[in-house]
Amino acid sequence: MRAMLSGENADPRLTLLFAYPFRIFFLSLAVLAIVVVPVWVMVVTGKWILPTALPGLYWHLHEMLFGFLTAAIAGFLLTAVCVWTKTERMHGVPLMLFWLVWLAGRLLLAFGGDLPFWLMQAVNLLFLPLIMLDAGWRILRSGQKRHNVILVVLGLLWVMQIAFVNTLNINYVDGALVLAMALAGIIGGRITPAFTVGWLRQNGGNPDVVKVSPRTDFATLVSLLLLLAMLVIGWRWGEVLFALTSAILMLVRLTGWHGWAARSEPLLWILHISLLWIPVALILMAGHLVFGWESTAWSHAAGVGVIGSLILGVIARVSLGHTGRPLQLPGGMVLAFTAIQLAAVVRVITALGGLPWSPGIGLSALLWEIAFVIFLLRYTLILSSPRADGKTG
C-alpha cells in the first residue's frame, strides 16, 4: 500500500488524493451523493432490489447521515483542525486506511445483507470515533479548548448512530438531524460571518455591519441540544418549544450576519441560504408536531437544505482555497448551487402535498444529481492536481 502512494511507479494523482483529507473525502462524498439518491429512488419505487444490510428506507437514512455527512465532516474537520492547531496533517497510508474504513462501511451496508450484522455495525460505528480521536489529540495538544464543543456534538452524533443501527428507531435519525444542524450552526457560525467580513472589506463594503454575538451563538447551541433531549425522552411540547426557540435564535444570528450585503458572491450566499434552512426546518418540525404536517418536510429541509446545500458550498470553497487557487467559482457552479436549493424546495413542497409524490421526488432527485455531478465534473481535476501555488498538500 505504501508503494502505491510513494513508489517509483506510484500514480501521482493517487498520491495527491491522499495528500490531504479534503481531497479524497470531498470527491468520495460527491460520488456517494450521485449514486445513493437515484438508487434510493429506484428502490423506493420498486424497480430495484439491493441486498442491503438494513431495510431500504433505513439504508437510505443511514447513508445520507452517516455516510455522506461523515465524509464531509472528515474532509473538512481533519483539514481545518490541522490549520487551527498548526499540526501535521494526516496523509499517505494512514489517510488511505482511514478512507478505506469509510468505504468498507458503504459497501457492507449496500451489499452485506447476507453477512453477519455485527460486521456491518462494527465497521460503520468505527468511523466517527476515528475522526474524534484524530481531531481530539490535536486539539488537546494545542490547548484550544474552544474546539471541544465540536467533539461533544460529534460524540452525541455517534450515540445517535449507535442507537439507530441497533433499534432502527426513526427518533434517533431525527436526533442526528438536529445534531447535524447544531454542527452546521457551529461551523457555519465561525466561517460565514468571517468570510462575509473579509469579502466586504475587499470589495468596498462596510464590514462593520456584520455582527456576531457569542451569547446568541451559545444559546442557539444549548437550545438545539435541549431539543435533542426532548426528542429522546419523547416530550412533544418540549420539542415544539425548543424547535421554535432554536429557530428564532438562528434567525437572530443570520440577521446579524447581513448575508444580503454579499448577495452578489455565490460562495457567500450559498452559506447564508444553507443556514437559513435551519430555522425553516425547525418551524416545519414544530408544524409537524402541532398541526400534523408531514415529517419528511422538516427532515428534508434539514437533510437537503441544510446539510446537502452547506456541504456543497463549503467543499466548493475549501477545495479552491486549500489547493492554492483564487476563490473564483468554476463555470457551472452557480447552477449547482441553484439546483441544490431547488432540490430542497421541491422536496419540501412534495412532502407538504404541493406536488404529486412520484414526480416530486423524481424532480428533487434530478436537481440533487445536477448539483453534485457539476461539482464532480468541475472539481475532480482540481482535487487530484498539485496546488496551484506550488506548496505541499
Q: What tens digit of pLDDT does each residue of 88-99 get? A: 889 899 999 999
Mean pLDDT value of segment 58-82: 95
CB within 8 A of 277, min separation 6: which ones? 301, 302, 305, 306, 309, 344
Mean pLDDT value of segment 206-220: 96
Whether residue 16 has pLDDT greater than 70: yes
Q: Report the length, in residues, of the chain.
A: 393
Give the three-state DSSP class for 347. Answer: helix
Report the alpha-carbon distance of residue 284 to residue 296 in Å, rounded.
9
Q: Encode pLDDT of 291-348 as tens digits.
A: 999 999 999 999 999 999 999 999 999 999 999 999 999 999 999 999 999 999 999 9
Whether residue 113 has pLDDT greater than 80: yes
pTM for the model: 0.95
pLDDT tier for residue 9 given thresholds of 50, 70 and 90: low
Mean pLDDT value of segment 32-50: 84
Q: Phi and psi dihedrals of 356, rounded to 5?
A: -60, 145
pLDDT (0 to 100) of residue 1: 60
Whether residue 182 has pLDDT greater than 80: yes
Mean pLDDT of the chain: 93
Report the alpha-carbon distance of residue 113 to residue 51 in Å, rounded.
5
pLDDT tier for residue 48 given thresholds of 50, 70 and 90: confident
Mean pLDDT value of segment 242-250: 98
pLDDT tier for residue 6 given thresholds of 50, 70 and 90: low
Report the alpha-carbon distance of residue 255 to residue 209 in Å, rounded.
10
pLDDT tier for residue 359 given thresholds of 50, 70 and 90: very high
Report the alpha-carbon distance of residue 210 to residue 195 in Å, rounded.
10
